[in-house]
């Protein structure tokens, strides 16, 4: 990364809410002159691509088409067994800190970060431990700023890949991992066969099917 290049950084995550699979936090350093090209290529908030197998392919296609405009990207994968009650936000902030260091944030012109739940800007920056002269920390930043949309896409495609691998290892079709009937079905099929929850389950999440299976010996 050349010091004379004017670039911005976008940071976002994928997998904060699911009960299955990892949390992935990603950052992308984009040359300022290339930011608008991302929108032309179809880069947008990863959630806007929808769900299902077709959306997985489309997200991957758009990410690949945008790669020439990414100076550098870096992702942190937080595995399901690392996630405990009360630890998710601290883990997320630690990941953001690491990403900023990897992307040489001190040389960037602007840093865009999608807001972490209801955490106010001052509290987030205090926990982060350092400040950028132009830290833009906003709700729905992934819909407003192309650099964050790119980070969202990187995080989501990485999570898709990890979840697909988990499902494949279990002999199952891909699921999103959110608390829905498809995820419950996967968990119950594995539990009925093995008497325990499958690898990749976030056991600390207070979701009725998980709680029930843990109490039953899982």
Q: What is the pTM of this model?
A: 0.91
Residue where one domain finishes, among candidates 135, 150, 167: 167
141 shares a domain with 92: yes
176 shares a domain with 145: no
In a domain, 2, yes or no: no
Give the CATH number for residue 208.
1.10.10
| 147 closest CA partner among 49, 69, 51, 68 | 69
| 107 closest CA partner among 35, 8, 26 | 8
Q: What's the confidence (pLDDT) of residue 132?
A: 66
In a domain, 64, yes or no: yes
Give the CATH number for residue 41.
3.30.420.10
142 shares a domain with 45: yes
Q: What's the confidence (pLDDT) of residue 3?
A: 46
Residue where one domain finishes, among candidates 167, 184, 206: 167
Structural domain range at position 199: 172-215
194 shares a domain with 158: no
178 shares a domain with 106: no
25 shares a domain with 125: yes
196 shares a domain with 140: no
What CA–CA distance (Å, rounded) separates 38 from 63? Answer: 10
In a domain, 1, yes or no: no
Q: Report CA dihedral (150, 153, 158, 162) to the nearest 10 degrees.
A: 170
Query: Which value, in Å, is the radius of gyration of the alpha carbons in the chain?
Result: 18
Q: What is residue 19's three-state secondary structure? A: coil
104 shares a domain with 15: yes
| Paired tokens of 209 | 């099917």
180 shares a domain with 83: no
Q: What is residue 89's three-state secondary structure? A: helix
What CA–CA distance (Å, rounded) separates 73 from 19? Answer: 26
pLDDT per residue of the chain (218 residues) written in tens, 0 to 9: 444 579 999 999 999 999 999 999 999 999 999 998 998 888 876 777 776 667 778 888 888 998 999 999 999 999 999 988 778 889 999 999 999 999 999 999 999 999 988 889 889 988 998 776 688 999 999 899 999 999 999 999 999 999 999 999 999 999 999 999 999 999 999 999 999 999 999 998 889 999 999 999 87
| Paired tokens of 99 | 């990403």
128 shares a domain with 46: yes
Residue where one domain finishes, among candidates 167, 185, 203: 167
Total number of domains in the chain:
2
152 shares a domain with 49: yes
φ and ψ at residue 148, rounded to 5 degrees: -75, -35
In a domain, 115, yes or no: yes
91 shares a domain with 11: yes
């Amino acid at each position: 990364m050349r010091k004379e290049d004017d670039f911005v950084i976008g940071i976002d995550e994928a997998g904060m809410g699911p009960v299955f699979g990892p949390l992935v936090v990603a950052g992308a350093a984009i040359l300022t002159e290339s930011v608008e090209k991302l929108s032309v290529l179809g880069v947008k908030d990863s959630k806007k691509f929808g769900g299902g197998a077709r959306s997985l392919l489309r997200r991957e296609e758009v990410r690949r088409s945008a790669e020439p405009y990414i100076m550098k990207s870096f992702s942190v994968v937080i595995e399901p067994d690392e996630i405990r009650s009360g630890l998710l936000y601290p883990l997320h902030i630690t990941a953001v800190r690491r990403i900023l260091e990897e992307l040489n944030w001190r040389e960037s012109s602007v840093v865009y970060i999608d807001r972490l739940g209801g955490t106010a800007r001052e509290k987030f920056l205090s926990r982060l431990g350092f400040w950028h002269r132009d830290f833009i920390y906003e709700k729905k930043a992934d819909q407003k700023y192309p650099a964050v949309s790119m980070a969202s896409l990187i995080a989501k495609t990485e999570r898709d890949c990890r979840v697909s691998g988990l499902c494949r290892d279990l002999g199952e079709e891909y699921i999103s991992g959110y608390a829905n009937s498809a995820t419950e079905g996967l968990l119950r099929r594995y539990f009925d066969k093995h008497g325990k929850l499958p690898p990749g389950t976030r056991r600390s999440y207070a979701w009725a099917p998980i709680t029930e299976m843990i109490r039953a010996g899982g």
